[in-house]
Amino acid sequence: MIRYLICAISLICCISGCYTSDNTPLPVLGNPEIVGGDTIPHTIGPFSLLNQDSILITNASFSDHIYLSDFFFMHCPTICPKVKKQMLRVYDRYKDNPEIILVSHTLDPKRDTPDNLKTYAENLEINQDKWIFLTGKKEHIYDIKNDYFIAATEDPDAPGGIAHSGKIILVDKKGQVRSFAEGTDPKEVNQMMEDIDKLLKEYAQ
Amino acid sequence: MHNKRILKYSFLFTVILFTYACNEAKFMQGKRTYDVMCGDCHMEDGSGVAKVYPELNAEKIATLIDDLPCIIRYGVNKPASLIKMPPNPSLLPVDITNIINYLCNDMHDLDREFTMVDIISSLNDCPKDSIR
């Protein structure tokens, strides 16, 4: 009898465990800083970059949006097209949702000028208010990528000249990193879209 | 009784095996080369990415069929296009033959098959400037 009871209780625990884990908010990723006894979560540091229309974009530009960020360059012959394909999937799903935007940073600002990024965006056939392309000073971009936990380095042996990670990063309205996905893997991007829905719900409450 | 069961299972197994064998691409080597050399941009299913990396649909393949060997070997270098298709000097005529046969018969149903001799003669007639 007791054995059955234990079985039943553990079963209930398992099931309720599943439910509660589904309701937990997305974690805030990155190492928090402790300043004067206060824990300050990791946020995207201050940036000022130009979009495809040469308009200055800073952190404040995104304060009313959650956004998806990736790093790429136009002459990248390896992973970038696949990441763009997945970003396009996310774009298609959320294009009518005013709360979310997509932000692609170039790692090759010398060649990917605002003009060229504009042409690229036109060829992607997307709404350029919804999906923006950022460029700027190379040192600044390579500095800011660290806040998104993106690894990238110039490497003459790498195809296209830059070796970099194809991760897609989800950032909330406070500039905190909440989720990430390997941009070449459709399954991880499916999971990412579930995380986006969860984050949107967090703001809907 | 026991033997009958073994027979039943081995029959089932054979059917499954045959189904899978039939689903494999006819030009498997072409598929492998395509996936590695072309799939990153044109995607493994040929769907491309909007206008940036063109879709390889049946209509396009049918229209470009005579130019395909030169395009695959020397790339596309239209001065106006932002992202140019790079040349692929590492692809041998046999690889290009396999890729084109895969595109025509597995990815699409154009029912055109080329021999390596066909492809070599096309490659010999490629425009010298390689600007298409």
User: For residues B82 and A119, is the Cβ–Cβ distance under 8 A?
Assistant: yes
Task: Indicate whether B66 belongs to any domain.
Answer: yes
Closest CB to A123 among B40, B47, B50: B50
Task: Indicate whether B119 belongs to any domain.
Answer: yes
Q: What is the CATH number of the domain that holds B93?
A: 1.10.760.10
Closest CB to A120 among B47, B82, B86: B82
Compute the distance between CA of residue A25 and CA of residue A11 in angstroms, rounded to an integer.
Answer: 24
DSSP code string of A72-118? E-TT--SSHHHHHHHHHHHHHHHTT-TTEEEEEEES-TTT--HHHHH
pLDDT given at position A195: 97
Q: Which chain B residue is nearest to residue A119, measuring alpha carbons?
A: B82
Contact A74 B83 (CB under 8 A): yes
Between A79-88, A192-201, B14-23, B37-46, the lowest mean confidence (pLDDT) is in: B14-23
Task: Indicate whether B17 belongs to any domain.
Answer: no
CB-count exposure of residue A30 (10 Å: 0-12, 13-18, 19+): middle
Between A89-103, A159-173, B22-36, the lowest mean confidence (pLDDT) is in: B22-36
Contact with chain A for residue B51, Cβ under 8 A:
yes
**Total count of domains within chain B:** 1
Residue A175 CB neighbour total at 10 angstroms: 19
Q: Which chain B residue is nearest to residue A88, measuring alpha carbons?
A: B49
CB-count exposure of residue A17 (10 Å: 0-12, 13-18, 19+): exposed
Domains recognised in chain A with CATH numbers: 33-204 (3.40.30.10)
pLDDT given at position B41: 94
Token duo for residue B58: 């049946």
When the pLDDT of each residue in chain B is averaged and rounded to a whole number, the result is 88
Q: Which of A168, A170, A165, A137 is closest to A151 using CA atoms? A: A165
User: In this predicted model, what pLDDT tens digit does every residue of B102-127 receive, in sequence order?
Assistant: 999 999 999 999 999 999 999 999 98
Contacts of A79 in chain B (CB under 8 A): 40
User: For residues A69 and A171, is the Cβ–Cβ distance under 8 A?
Assistant: yes
Closest CB to A77 among B40, B50, B82: B40
Task: Indicate whether B8 belongs to any domain.
Answer: no
Dihedral (CA of A62, A65, A66, A68) sign: negative
Compute the distance between CA of residue A130 and CA of residue B101 in angstroms, rounded to an integer.
Answer: 40
Banded pLDDT at A22 (limits 50, 70, 90): low
pLDDT exceeding 90 applies to what percent of chain B?
68
Contact A124 B82 (CB under 8 A): no
CB-count exposure of residue B127 (10 Å: 0-12, 13-18, 19+): exposed
Banded pLDDT at A172 (limits 50, 70, 90): very high
Contact with chain A for residue B86, Cβ under 8 A:
yes
User: For residues A149 and A43, is the Cβ–Cβ distance under 8 A?
Assistant: no
pLDDT given at position A20: 52
pLDDT given at position A202: 93
Which domain range does residue B36 map to? Answer: 26-124
Task: Indicate whether B111 belongs to any domain.
Answer: yes
Residues in CB range of A121: below 8 A, 6 or more apart:
A52, A128, A131, A133
For range A74-84, the mean pLDDT: 93
When the pLDDT of each residue in chain A is averaged and rounded to a whole number, the result is 92
CA A182-A188-A189 angle, 5° bins: 90
Task: Indicate whether B11 belongs to any domain.
Answer: no
Compute the distance between CA of residue B52 and CA of residue A120 in angstroms, rounded to an integer.
Answer: 7
